[in-house]
Amino acid sequence: MMARTKTDMREAVMTAARATVQSRGYNALSFRELAKEVGIKSASVHYHFPTKGDLGAALARRYTEEGAAYLAELLATSEGPTWCMDRYTEIFRSALANDNRMCLCGIMSAELDDLPAEVRTEVDKFAAMNVGWLTKVLSLTKSSASEQDLKEHAMAIFAAIEGAQLVARGCRNIGIYDRAIRAYRTTGLIP
C-alpha cells in the first residue's frame, strides 16, 4: 500500500469537509470528526488548515473557482441562453439529488453571522461570480437592457434558484425545486 502524500491528505480533508458543509452546514465542521473520517490525527487537519476559518475559506474559494470554470465552459460551448440556463439550474438540482445537499456557498450564506471574515469574503465572491455569469447570459437575450437592469435580473435569478433549492431541501422534496424552476420559466424570470 502506498503512503498518502500531504497533498492527498489535504484533498481528503477538503472532500470530507465539503460533504459535511453541503449536508449539515459550516457549523457542523469539526476537525476531530474530519480527522476520524479521513483516518488521520486532528493535528494533521490543523497542519493543512490552522483554523476552521482557513478550511471554510479554502472550501468556498475552490467551490467558486470550480464553478467559474464550469460556467465559462458552458458559455464557450453555448447553444444559447436557454441551454445555458438549463445547465445552470441542473447544477443546483444535482446537489439536491446527491443526498439532499445544498450549494456549498448557499448553505454557508445561511450561517453568515457565524462565519469568520475570510469565509464571508469567499462566499461573497461566489455570489458575485454567479451574478456576473448570469448577467452575461441575460445579455444574449436582452441586448438593449442596461447593465444595471441585467445585474438586477441576474441577482433575482440567483436568489430564486438558491431559494428554491433551500425550500426543496427543507421539505426533502426535489419536486418542489423542479416546479419552482418551471414557474420561473413560465413567468419569464429565467429565459
CB 100 within 8 A of CB 185: no
Residue 142: pLDDT above 90? no
Share of the chain above pLDDT 90, in %: 87
With a pLDDT cut of 70, the percent of the chain lying above it is: 97
CA distances from 167 to 74, 130, 150, 151 (A): 27, 20, 26, 24
Q: Is pLDDT above 80 for 173?
A: yes
- The yes-or-no verdict on residue 93 having pLDDT over 70 is yes
pLDDT surpassing 50 at residue 16: yes
What tens digit of pLDDT does each residue of 36-55 get?
999 988 898 999 999 999 99
What is this structure's pTM? Answer: 0.91
Q: Is 146 helix (H, G, I), strand (E, B) or coil?
A: coil
The Cα-based distances of 170 to 45, 58, 174 in angstroms read 31, 26, 10
Task: Name the 3-class secondary structure at 191.
Answer: coil
Q: What is the mean pLDDT of residues 118-126?
A: 97
Mean pLDDT of 150-167: 97
Structure confidence at residue 2 as a pLDDT band (50, 70, 90): very low
Do residues 166 and 154 make contact, with C-beta atoms less than 8 angstroms apart? no
For the segment 104-113, what is each residue's pLDDT rounded down to a tens digit? 999 999 999 9
121 — pLDDT class (breaks 50, 70, 90): very high
Return the pLDDT at 1: 41
| Per-residue pLDDT at 4 | 60
If pLDDT is split at 50, 70 and 90, which confidence band does 59 have?
very high
Residue 13 pLDDT: 95
Among the four given CATH numbers 3.30.300.90, 3.40.50.300, 1.10.357.10, 1.10.3720.10, the one describing domain 56-187: 1.10.357.10
